[in-house]
Structure 1
Amino acid sequence: MEEISAFEEFEKKDNLARRRSLLPIWIKIFTWLFLIGGAVAIGILICGFFLTNINLEIYGIQASHPYTLTGFLISILLIYKGTVAYGLWFEQKWAPQAAIIDGIMGIAICIIMMIIIPFTHSNINFTIRLELIPLYFYLQKMQKIKPIWKNI
């Protein structure tokens, strides 16, 4: 009688279809950056009382302390991006949908910070958000990967 090993999945040589292999190298690099960024954001929220001068920024949103409204918003965005990065790196089934939501949110926030906010706040100037370029390609790639990812 043949015994079935609990590690049989790892011992198979023909199991080459990995979800992670669907990701291009630039998304893998950003995945690691946002895994680290999400962990740092959690650390900043935990140690926020001890931080006197810290500059947080993402998509044109700026904060000088983590316990302000914009500081919480930036931290939540970074933690969400870290969660999406975790899902992509560890090949979770929900990761492409979360990545699509992340891309749409990022593009929407960039457009708001680029077009609407400069006209409603006099101390914020118009800037072209270059984050829109990789966000567009990220969104397109995740939409293309999603059906394949679910079937693997």
Structure 2
Amino acid sequence: MKEKSTFQEFENTYHPHARRKLLPVWIKIFIWIFIIMGTIAVFLPLTGLFSNDTNLSIYGIESTQIYSPAGIFIISILVFKGIVAYGLWFEQEWAPKAAIADAGLGIAICVIMMLVIPFTVDHITFTIRFELVPLYFYFKKMRQIQNIWESV
């Protein structure tokens, strides 16, 4: 007969990095890319004090000035993506919900930049946003693992 430990409730049943194992390799690669980009984005406003020309672009939004509405919006997106990447890598409970919001925001911005802006702004032309492909699979994967992530 196996004896039960009286301290069983205090034993650690959580396995380190169990949540991280739910993420496919391609998402782990993007996590590190966006951790680095998010960190750089935090310091971009400081570089704007010394340089007027900085090329910023994400999801079809482009800016050459940090202190323009488009530049601030791009920096905000990059910082948000960095925070989400940090949450996923360090297995925060809120991370899948933030990742789903991140993917949804990215898809919405790409669709707007592809289908609305070219027909309302003269100097912007129609382009197909290929970012939609990984964003779709990212959204789908995060929805798939959200419940498992939260129960681990």
Q: Distance in 2 between matches of 1:55 and 1:73?
A: 13
**What runs of 5+ residues in structure 1 fail to find an aligned partner?**
1-7
Corresponding residue number in structure 2 for 1:3: none
Identity %: 53
Corresponding residue number in structure 2 for 1:92: 92
Q: How does 1:31-50 map to 2 (within 5 A)?
A: 31-50=31-50
Q: Distance in 1 between matches of 2:92 and 2:32?
A: 16
SS at match of 1:57: strand
Pair 1:119 & 2:126 matched? no
Corresponding residue number in structure 1 for 2:64: 64
**Paired residues of 2:17 and 2:91 also in contact (CA < 8 A):** no
Q: How does 1:20-39 map to 2 (within 5 A)?
A: 20-39=20-39
One-letter code aligned to 1:79: V
Q: Distance in 1 between matches of 2:17 and 2:104?
A: 28
User: How far 1:46 sits from its partner (Å)?
Assistant: 2.4
Pair 1:107 & 2:107 matched? yes
User: How far 1:16 sits from its partner (Å)?
Assistant: 6.1
Range with greater deviation from structure 2 (76-85 or 36-45): 36-45
Cα 1:87–1:16 change in 2 (3 A) is closer
Cα 1:116–1:21 change in 2 (3 A) is same
Deviations 1:69-98 (A, max 9, x none): 000000000000000000000000000000
One-letter code aligned to 2:151: N
SS at match of 1:49: coil
**Paired residues of 1:51 and 1:65 also in contact (CA < 8 A):** no
Cα 1:17–1:79 change in 2 (3 A) is closer
**What runs of 5+ residues in structure 2 fail to find an aligned partner?**
1-10
Deviation >6 Å, runs of 4+: none
Cα 1:17–1:84 change in 2 (3 A) is closer
Q: Distance in 2 between matches of 1:107 and 1:89?
A: 22
Give TM-score scaled by structure 2 length: 0.89
